[in-house]
Amino acid sequence: GKWPAYYPDSLPASFDVGLGSPTGVGFGYESNFPAKWREAFFIADWSYGRLLAVTLTPDGASYRGTSETFLSGRPLNLTDFAFHDGSLWFITGGRRTQSALYRVSWTGEQEEPKWTPPAPDPKAAELRALRHQLERYHAETSETGLKLALENIDHPDRFIRFAARVALENQPVPEWRDTILERRSPDGLLALARLSKAKRQPALIAAACAAIQQGQVNDSTLLTLLRALQLSFIRQGEPDDALRDQVIAALDPLYPAKTMPINHELCELLVYLSAPKIIDRTLALLEASDDTRDLSHYLVFLRYVETGWSTDQRRRYLESLRRFDQWPGGRWWVRTGQDLRKEAIAALTESERKTLADLLDPATPEVESPVITLDPAKFVKAWTLEDFTAELGQSLSKRDLASGKQAYHQVGCALCHRMGSDSATSQAVLGPDLTGIGGRFDPHAMLESIIHPSLVIADLYRNPAGPNVSLMPPGLINQLTKEQVLDLLAYLQRGGSENETR
């Protein structure tokens, strides 16, 4: 899965765009736009039909970003863009939709608009220069690089520490191993965990545990030490009983902690080490939280605890699993709940199955292939694209969205597709989420996919070993009137919103 942003052997995003499908990126340096836009970093998002402009400002040795929508459309399925002759040129299309080339030009006055760039930060410039200096040794062995890396391995700036660690890893390990062990440097120990041989594991674990037990570590440092222990077990192997007890003695007093990241990493390690109190403590965290990140994390890792369960603990786990069922989620969420339940039931004794019988079924029915039955008595017409030629050339902005929502449910769309904030579709995961469909498909393309569902099948829903036939049956809209079909298209275009102003 995706690594957490706090993992020290990775780097966080400068700006989290969220859901989307980026198809092109670039700076506006070659445009004749106002200075604010010339300095912006542009991101094309195919899925949601938008071009984002991200403003980057110095943040220590790196940058952080803020964004705003530069332009958007329904649809605006951007596939790529470039700057040329002072203008922004972009192309739309994909998935058999109509492709088009657009140009965006600045037509305002040529004098510089009022815009004040961020004030220079000399300290940030120094930090970036230091980071660049360290990065020179990411592929070079050098005494100078070794000295510089050791000097900065505990630097307060995360990006400097990262650059120093990578530089250190490119120097011969025997030349810096003892220094790191003596210092108990968290990022240095992380480097050792990534590179050391199994015979060095006891010294590495002893140094990490001593650093944790000295009680002067902050959250960031503790997370780095926990990650070093994880990587040591992954790369140098499972610890023997003595090392296992040593690590449990260091970590057990910290669990539970006050922050989610530390609790999550402690949970993983203590489950792996079979710590004696892990079930009760984790169940308490699970029951006290309404955050889906906690819910999924603790349920997933508790399943790896094979022994030591009481019947009451099994009951508490299954009750939390029913809470998991009731949270709206996508395909992964639903299938994870199904898998967790199967494993939990398989681990029960016959006596426990009888005692906990009322908790063995999911809180919501498991998602199965829906049976869509069309009433022949309600047949209106076998609609074709040609039947809507005139209407598809007109705006759908004045259509009846409430009628469109009713049609969405009437013909069975809600059985397979999630749509916006419509709670009735929260467990519909068999087909693509249609919330952002208006940003990538125009009404003609949407109607074509409804009438001919097998014409274009998204990769995620295609059967590579079978016939190229969609799970979605044709003819679903044949029991709707023309007005209802147009209302349905308007509802889809707005991503399930009944708000006219969206």
pLDDT in tens, 139-159: 999 999 999 999 999 999 999
Comparing 16-25, 133-142, 147-156, 203-212, the range with the smallest average pLDDT is: 16-25
Comparing 119-128, 259-268, 306-315, 362-371, the range with the smallest average pLDDT is: 362-371
Buried b (16+ CB within 10 A) or exposed e, 443-482: bbbbbbbbbebeebbeeeeeeeeeeeebebeeebbbbbee
pLDDT at 377 over 80: no
* SS3 (DSSP) at 138: coil
pLDDT at 69 over 50: yes
φ, ψ of residue 64 to 5 degrees: the values are: -125, 155
Q: Taking residues 454-476, what's their average pLDDT?
A: 84
Q: What CATH number labels 376-493?
A: 1.10.760
CB-based contact 462:468 (threshold 8 Å): yes
Q: Taking residues 35-42, what's their average pLDDT?
A: 93
- List the Cα angle 331/344/356 in 5-degree steps: 115
CB-based contact 76:57 (threshold 8 Å): no
Reported confidence tier of residue 370, pLDDT bands at 50, 70, 90: low
pLDDT at 502 over 70: no
* SS3 (DSSP) at 243: helix
Report the half-sphere exposure of 327 (CA within 13 A, side-chain side).
Answer: 21
pLDDT at 358: 92
CB-based contact 180:189 (threshold 8 Å): yes
Tokens of 217: 């570590």
Task: Look up tokens 């929508």; give the residue.
Answer: 69
Task: Enter the DSSP assignment of 405.
Answer: H
pLDDT at 376: 66
Tokens of 307: 């022994």
Reported confidence tier of residue 331, pLDDT bands at 50, 70, 90: low
pLDDT at 269 over 80: yes
Output the CA torsion 308→309→310→315 (10° steps): 170
pLDDT at 318 over 50: yes
pTM: 0.83
pLDDT at 260: 98
Comparing 232-246, 298-312, 457-471, the range with the smallest average pLDDT is: 457-471
Comparing 169-173, 342-346, 370-374, 432-436, the range with the smallest average pLDDT is: 370-374
Reported confidence tier of residue 315, pLDDT bands at 50, 70, 90: very high
**Closest of 118, 134, 117, 20 to residue 78, by C-alpha:** 20
Instruction: Give 44's contacts (C-beta < 8 A, 6+ positions apart).
Output: 22, 23, 24, 25, 51, 78, 79, 80, 81, 90
- Positive or negative, the Cα torsion across 401, 405, 406, 408? positive
What are the strands, taking DSSP E only, across 35-162?
A: 41-45, 50-59, 62-72, 78-84, 87-94, 97-104
pLDDT at 425: 63
Q: How distant, in Å, are the alpha carbons of 63, 119, 136, 154, 265 from that of 129?
A: 13, 18, 11, 17, 33
Comparing 103-107, 268-272, 373-377, the range with the smallest average pLDDT is: 373-377
pLDDT at 65 over 50: yes
| Alpha carbons 396 and 209: distance in angstroms, whole number | 64
Task: Enter the DSSP assignment of 361.
Answer: S
Buried b (16+ CB within 10 A) or exposed e, 134-170: beebeeeeeeebbebbbebbbbebbbbbbbbbbbbbb
What are the strands, taking DSSP E only, across 2-49?
A: 22-27, 41-45
pLDDT at 430: 77
* Residue 435 or residue 368, greater confidence: 435
Domain spans in the chain, listed from the N-terminal domain onward: 22-104, 172-273, 277-366, 376-493
pLDDT in tens, 185-203: 999 999 999 999 999 999 9
Buried b (16+ CB within 10 A) or exposed e, 185-223: bbbbbbbbbbebeeebbeebbbbbbebbeeeebeeebbb
pLDDT at 495: 84
Comparing 34-38, 323-327, 329-333, 340-344, the range with the smallest average pLDDT is: 329-333
pLDDT at 166 over 80: yes
CB-based contact 418:425 (threshold 8 Å): yes
pLDDT in tens, 232-241: 999 999 999 9
Task: Look up tokens 């002067």; give the residue.
Answer: 216
Name the pairing type of β-strands 22-27 and 78-84: unpaired
